[in-house]
Structures are given as C-alpha cells and as structure tokens.
Structure 1
Amino acid sequence: MMKGKIMQSGKTVKLFVLLIMSIVILSESCGVSSGENKPKIRRKAMATGSDPGSKDSKTAKTENDRWEKTIQSFEDWDSKNSFPLDGVLFVGSSSIRLWPTRERFGEFPVINRGFGGSHISNVNYFAHRIVFPYKPRVIVFYAGDNDISGKKTPQRVFDDYRKFVKLVHKELPATRIIFIYIKPSLSRWSLWPLMNEANLMIKKFSYKDERLFVFDSATPLVGSDGKPDEQYFLKDNLHLNSKGYDVWTRTLKPIVKKAFKP
C-alpha cells in the first residue's frame, strides 16, 4: 500500500515538473521574459533620436562650429580692450554686423556682436559668450531673415526667439530686448508673407512683457508700390546700404532711448 502511494506521488511530481517546463517554454516563445523586452526599448530610444551621438546632434554641432572663429575673435578683442557694461548690445545676423552702430548711436555705450548668416538658434547657442558677459541694459536683436530663407517655419522662428528671451531673462532679468522685424527685401520677396507672419507672432508675444519691445523695420523701407524700395539696398537687393541704415537709425533711436531709461 505504501509502495503504491509512493509511486503515485512520484508520477504526480513528474507531471508537475513537465507542466512547469511547458509553461516556461511557452512563455519564452511568446517573448514574455524580461530579457526579451530590453533590446526593444533600446532600439526604440535610438529611433526617436534620443541617442546623443545621433546624426541630428552632430549636424547641430557642426552648424555652430562654423561660427567658432568669429566668436573667438570677439573674445580676443574683449580680452585686450575695455567694453561697456550696462550698455546697448546689438546682436544678430549680417544686418547687425554691417550696421555702423557705434557711429550711428554714439550717445549710447554700444557693443556690436553681429555675425553674418546666423540664425536665431546660433545666437542662442553662443549667448553665454556674446551676450551675458556684457550685462547689457538693452539688447537690439535682428535675426530670422536667414531662418525663413533656410526653410524654417514662422513658428520655429517664434519659438527660437522666445527661447532667446528666456535665456536672457534667466541670466539678466532686468534687460530690455528690442526685436527688429524681419525686413522685406526684393531678393527674398517671395518669402515676405512667412517673415511677416513670424513678425506678428513676436509682436503679440512682446506686448505681454514690459521688458520687450518691437521695431517695425519694414514699413520705412517700402515704396509707394508696396514693395521694398531699391534705394535703401545694396546691389544684392538683400542687405541695407547707408541710406537704409539712416532710415533704421532714425526710426529706431526713439525706441532705444525709451528702453534705455533706468
């Protein structure tokens, strides 16, 4: 009797072991084990661009490396010369770089840190080197022209400018910022609707903060036919000539004076 019970017990154990093995095999074939899911998660993370070594990350770095020599030249100049603090900083693309700001705005302590061909994102990238060290009371900002020409959307231009404002006010909360409207030009006339869309978005945003100003750079440059007047532009029909900068200086100066007041 005892022997029969032992044999039955042994059969029961064998059946139990076989059942457990079947469950394990079935689970592995369905991919339930924890080891099966981990590689999938890693592949998904890489596919969404979260990998810091991704192509997009390297492209962004290369784009900003293009300006490294220019930024270093600013820093070299600063290391050998004195520069005003609490002044008016002009920063942005070639429309800033080509503007003789120290001559035209002689009544203010002026610094010019324009670098041609730049986008708003480039200014953001180098802000800790070409904005923050000067602790400006007022920033006069022009960029976005090349952004739209480079197929960035008005929303992207707005988002990048909003990021610039956030960066500045985190470091320099009292600084006033004047955004110069992206200007119309004959060489990029087909892009004007997109440029103006970005201008209007930034205008609406700026009205919500007393530290933010906008300057309508477009209206003074437009002729009676509703298009940019050639007399204000260089032969490339893109960059302003001396007459164009005269117009900008004359119409911008009252805004700078207002923003510069303590």
Structure 2
Amino acid sequence: MKTVDACIDCTNNSTEPIIHVPPPWTLYVTVCAIPIIPTTPLPAKAYYPLERNSTATEGNFIGLVGAILIVSYNDTPVGPYDEFAIIPSYFENVRGSRFYVSQKYTNYNGRKIPKHLAKFDWTTGVDGSTSLKIYPFDTQGSPNENGPSTLPFFQLKYTPLTPAPLPIPINLDPPLPVGNGSYGELPGTTHWAETPLGATSNYPTPVMFDLDQGTGDDTGNDYNAAGNEVYPNFWPELPRWNIGVEMERATVEFPVPETWS
C-alpha cells in the first residue's frame, strides 16, 4: 500500500521536484502480455542506446520464453502512468532489458530497473479493439532526450477473446549508467539489485495481438529506436498475429530489492 506521494501533479509538465519514494509498493493495474521467442544474439532493440554497452547487457543467456509487457498503472505514489517492457528471456543476471514509462516521476523512481521516457498514444476502435503506439525520448541522438521520436518504436492492436487465468512473474536487476534526461530523471546505479516482481489477476482475458509494425521507425540513422533493425512484427521470428493475455484489476508487488556490489 502506498504511504508517501511523490507529487500532486504527476505529469511531465509539473514543476514539483522529483523525489525518491522507496519500496515496497502494492499497485493495481491492467497488464497485457505477449509471449516472445528466445533468440541469440539478442537484437539491438533489446537494449536502449544509453545502456547498450554497459553492465546492463551482462549475464549469461539461459533461454525459455520471454514476453512483451504493457502495463497501465492508475494509482501509485508517483501518479498514473503507462509502461512498456521487453523481457527477452531469462539470464543469469539480467531478465528485463528495455522499459519505457510515460512520465518523469516514475522514471526516476524506477531507474534501478532500466527505464526511459516515452509518449504512449492509445486509441479505441469502434469494433472494441485497442491500439497503442510508443514514441521514445531516447532515440533521436540528443543526450538530453528532449522529446518523443517522430516514428513509433513499437505499435500493436488487440481484441479480447475469452477468459482464462495466467500469472506473470518477472525479475529485474541491472546497474545503470547516468543519463542526462529531459527532467533529470535518469540517475545511475552502482550496484546490482534483484527485485522479484509479480502480476496476478482473477480477471484475465486472452486477446489476439496484431504486431504489424508498418514502416516502424526505420529512419536510416544511428539513433532510431530499433538500432537500424527492421522486423515486420517487431521481434525476430515473431508472427504478426499472437495470442496473449490482458489482466484487468491485476495486483503488482514492488518489494524492497536485494542489492549487492
């Protein structure tokens, strides 16, 4: 349960200072999960430009099924926000590799898990489908990450099917380099931190995800979000149509992490 609020107006336009709100947190969210196929070596898009050559990429690749997660948080100590996560598979040290969130207060507080800012553009279709496009701040070549990209790093459309239960345990822990950021929201870390996370729900719904990326973010320069990689369905060997799950009223636990040098 949250005990301290970091902000009243928890938006990127707020002038309130960014403060640290330590765990534990218990949050209630909506989660979408898409299984992905393990691949080695990992595509460049698995990591941000800032962390691509850091200790965040260390750890022996083990394999097993990974996931793309999209999470909407409605009530947290740092206000409401959206999150996108790539969990490429399991590693000896690192399990989650790339995370985008929609506002600066959660980005700062979540930097023990590698996070950067992005714009989340949601639309709802007349057929009941939901579409999302994500525009990162960190892919334009500016060290200040001073605005969203003009082309989406990731996009999808999904339609609910029929209910079935599914929990999603994940675990994340890299040390990270300092970044400038637009709002001073990219502090670095100097230690490993293992944070067992979990999302469970009594209201899961299987959904059909359309991962057609269209033209994607193929800008032809070194700072596009995917690292000059073009996969028509975002991830190597991933088909366009994928069965995943949406979990409404899910509970997510952010416990105090175990840290070591």
TM-score, normalising length: structure 2: 0.28
Q: Which has the higher helix share?
A: 1
TM-score, normalising length: structure 1: 0.28
Q: Which has the higher strand share?
A: 2
Who wins on radius of gyration, i.e. which is larger? 1
